[in-house]
Amino acid sequence: MKKTSIQNKLLFGMVFFMTTVLTVGSTALYFSFRKAYFQQIDLDLGKVATLLATEIELENGQLVHEWLDDVRNDPIRSKKDLIQSWNLSDGSSLRSPALKGEDLPKFSAPSGQSSFRDITLPNGHSGRAIGIEILPKIDPEETEENATEPHGPYTEANAPPHILVIANDVEKIEKQLARLRWILLLTIIAVVIASVLISRNIIRSCLFPINDLSDQVAQHNVNELDKEFLVTPDFPEELKGLVTQYNRLFKNIHRVRVRERDFSAHAAHELRTPLAGIILTLEQALHRNRDTDYYQECLAETLKISQSMHGMTERLLYFSRLQNDTFSMHFEKVALHELLKNVWLQHTNRADSRGLSIDWDLTDKAAVIRADQHLLGILISNLMNNAVAYAEPNSSITIQTTAQSSGLALSISNQSKGLNKENMRRLFEPFYRKDEARDVNEHHSGIGLALCQEITRAMRASITADLDEENNTFTITVCFTALVDSEKHAIS
């Protein structure tokens, strides 16, 4: 796969742009100069042609070419002027001495109009010529004076048309234009080379902060991902947003790594404690011969610990599958109030043993929601289990449902003196528990609320925790947005 380089792209783009601009500009400059030169040449040729057209006359029936006499009598013009005329009646032709018997190209425009052409002169030089078709000029005064004199073969009626071609040698001008082309070409090449060198250095200096940032990323210690990248005062404003996002990304990665590390450590700790209990119980049973009742007690304790471990591993499995979005959800209509009361029956014995009472404050409307019933049961059971475990002895637990415009809210409240605002911020972290909570109940792994949060996320619901420090009331609220119209889907 071809590698892409920002530096090469910028350099190529700048060079291509400058080359295009210089080429177009130089071409326009060259042709404007050339056009100006040849416009002036054509203007001069036109003036000369207009003048010479009056010097082909018809006098007493004879053709008189005064232009040829004027050229022959002028030593400068005889060497310089390139003129030729053709009599279209008899095909005869007259040439200026400078042509040395050679012919100019014969061309013209319709009568009365001029035609300009680039030609090659007899000596091989480049030339510019004008061709015009004319009729000999007849002088009325001369005609009256010579009326009695004998006439030639031509009269005003049969005056022969002529083609007059006048040329200028433009070899020097073409050489000057060729020199101008080379100057412009060499200028373009020199400017492009200079632009490449200068642009390369400028681009390198502009990309240096990116290279520096890349080096910092490459050298970033995996154990110091929360350490921010250094930004110098002259760091480009366009890249500061990128650095901010990098810092945020690495901090998030650091937090994830810390959570994963803590998760592994806590999981190992939670598994080690019950395993140690199982080993200790079995070692005591095998230390010496015991009676049957003692063995049954040991087996019962081992079973209790194993069941606790099984529950924790099940919660860990659910937590992992929900986090990775690999849990297969099955949404169905669930009667929330009925499910609440059924799940509460599983916790009544423990609640009674701690002297806890239950207060139901359920909405009068039939609370039917769309949810995965199995996960919803785990969610409610975890919330009730926490409420029973951490409520103050001989206090009450309140379970409330409230109809909202966007759905249904479920709240579970209990009295608790061991929480504060600092605890609330970390409440949904996996394995987070206060030390006092760990002493209260050894069968709580600290994964329950984190699992509840993942369940609500998977079911497109939300969960929040609130603490009323004045009344020492802790409340967990779950908002279900997928509320079914109770009028159409009421369940008796």
pLDDT tens sequence across 141-174: 555 555 555 567 777 778 899 999 999 999 999 9
- Considering 27-31, 264-268, 320-324, 484-488, the range whose residues carry the highest mean pLDDT is 27-31
Domain assignment of residue 41, yes or no: yes
Q: What angle do CA 121, 122, 123 make, to 5 degrees?
A: 90
Residue scoring higher pLDDT (72 or 417): 72
Q: Which of 152, 126, 148, 128 has its CA nearest to residue 138?
A: 152
Instruction: Tell me: do 70 and 11 sit in the same domain.
Output: no
Cα–Cα distance between 237 and 245 in angstroms, integer? 14
How large is the C-alpha radius of gyration of the chain? 54
Residue 82: CB atoms within 10 Å: 23
* 355 conformational bin, left if phi > 0, alpha if psi -120 to 50, beta if neither: left
Cα–Cα distance between 98 and 82 in angstroms, integer? 6
Q: Which of 138, 141, 133 has its CA nearest to residue 154?
A: 138
Q: What is the pLDDT of residues 85-131, one digit of tens each?
A: 999 888 899 999 999 999 999 998 876 688 999 999 999 999 999 99
pLDDT for 275: 82
Q: Which of 27, 29, 38 has its CA nearest to residue 127?
A: 38
Contact 444, 308 (CB under 8 A): no
Cα–Cα distance between 52 and 45 in angstroms, integer? 10
Beta strands in 373-470 (DSSP E): 396-404, 407-415, 462-468
Residue 471 confidence class, pLDDT cut points 50, 70, 90: confident
Domain assignment of residue 345, yes or no: yes
Query: Above 80 in pLDDT, residue 27?
Result: yes
Among 286, 314, 342, where does a domain finish? 314
Long-range contacts, 245-252 (Cβ 8 Å, 24+)? 246/213, 246/217, 250/220, 250/225, 250/226, 251/225, 251/226
Phi/psi at 173 (5° precision): -65, -40
- Between strands 82-87 and 62-65, the pairing is unpaired
Cα–Cα distance between 316 and 348 in angstroms, integer? 25
pLDDT-wise least confident of 239-248, 437-446, 470-479: 437-446
Instruction: Tell me: do 46 and 192 sit in the same domain.
Output: yes
Query: Above 60 in pLDDT, residue 440?
Result: no
pLDDT-wise least confident of 54-58, 313-317, 371-375, 415-419: 313-317
pLDDT for 489: 43
Using the structure block, give the residue that is written with the tokens 């994964």: 447
End-to-end CA distance of the chain: 66
pLDDT for 249: 83
Domain assignment of residue 486, yes or no: no
CA distances from 107 to 68, 96, 111 (A): 20, 17, 12
Residue 437 confidence class, pLDDT cut points 50, 70, 90: very low
Summarize the confidence of residues 173-188 as an average pLDDT. 93
Instruction: Tell me: do 177 and 165 sit in the same domain.
Output: no
Domain assignment of residue 286, yes or no: yes
Q: Which of 190, 187, 231, 233 has its CA nearest to residue 213?
A: 231
Among 188, 217, 246, where does a domain finish? 217
- By percentage, how much of the chain surpasses pLDDT 90? 33
Summarize the confidence of residues 77-83 as an average pLDDT. 92
Q: Which of 416, 435, 438, 329 has its CA nearest to residue 378?
A: 329
pLDDT for 111: 66
Instruction: Tell me: do 35 and 179 sit in the same domain.
Output: yes
Tell me if residue 169 falls in helix, strand or coil.
strand
Residue 179 confidence class, pLDDT cut points 50, 70, 90: very high
Instruction: Tell me: do 295 and 439 sit in the same domain.
Output: no
Q: What is the pLDDT of residues 368-380, one digit of tens each?
A: 888 888 888 888 9
Alpha-carbon dihedral angle through residues 23, 25, 28, 29, given to the nearest 10 degrees:
-110
Instruction: Tell me: do 336 and 418 sit in the same domain.
Output: yes
Instruction: Tell me: do 165 and 281 sit in the same domain.
Output: no
pLDDT for 208: 78
333-356 CB burial, b ≥16 within 10 A, e <16: ebbbbebbeebbeebeeebeeeeb
Instruction: Tell me: do 341 and 461 sit in the same domain.
Output: yes
Residue scoring higher pLDDT (320 or 405): 405
Query: Above 70 in pLDDT, residue 298?
Result: yes
Residue scoring higher pLDDT (435 or 33): 33
Summarize the confidence of residues 425-453 as an average pLDDT. 63
Average pLDDT, the chain: 82
- Token reading at 319: 């937590």
Residue 105: CB atoms within 10 Å: 14
Instruction: Tell me: do 414 and 469 sit in the same domain.
Output: yes
pLDDT for 401: 92
Residue scoring higher pLDDT (14 or 344): 344
Domain assignment of residue 320, yes or no: no
The count of structural domains within the chain is: 4
Domain assignment of residue 421, yes or no: yes
Domain assignment of residue 71, yes or no: yes
0.75 exceeded by the pTM?
no
pLDDT for 374: 85
Instruction: Tell me: do 161 and 78 sit in the same domain.
Output: yes
Domain of residue 458 covers: 328-480
Burial (CB count <10 Å: 0-12, 13-18, 19+), residue 392 = middle
Alpha-carbon dihedral angle through residues 62, 63, 68, 69, given to the nearest 10 degrees:
20
Instruction: Tell me: do 334 and 464 sit in the same domain.
Output: yes
Query: Above 80 in pLDDT, residue 431?
Result: no
Instruction: Tell me: do 343 and 411 sit in the same domain.
Output: yes
What is the separation of C-alpha 168 from the centre of its chain, rounded to a whole number of angstroms? 61
Domain assignment of residue 319, yes or no: no
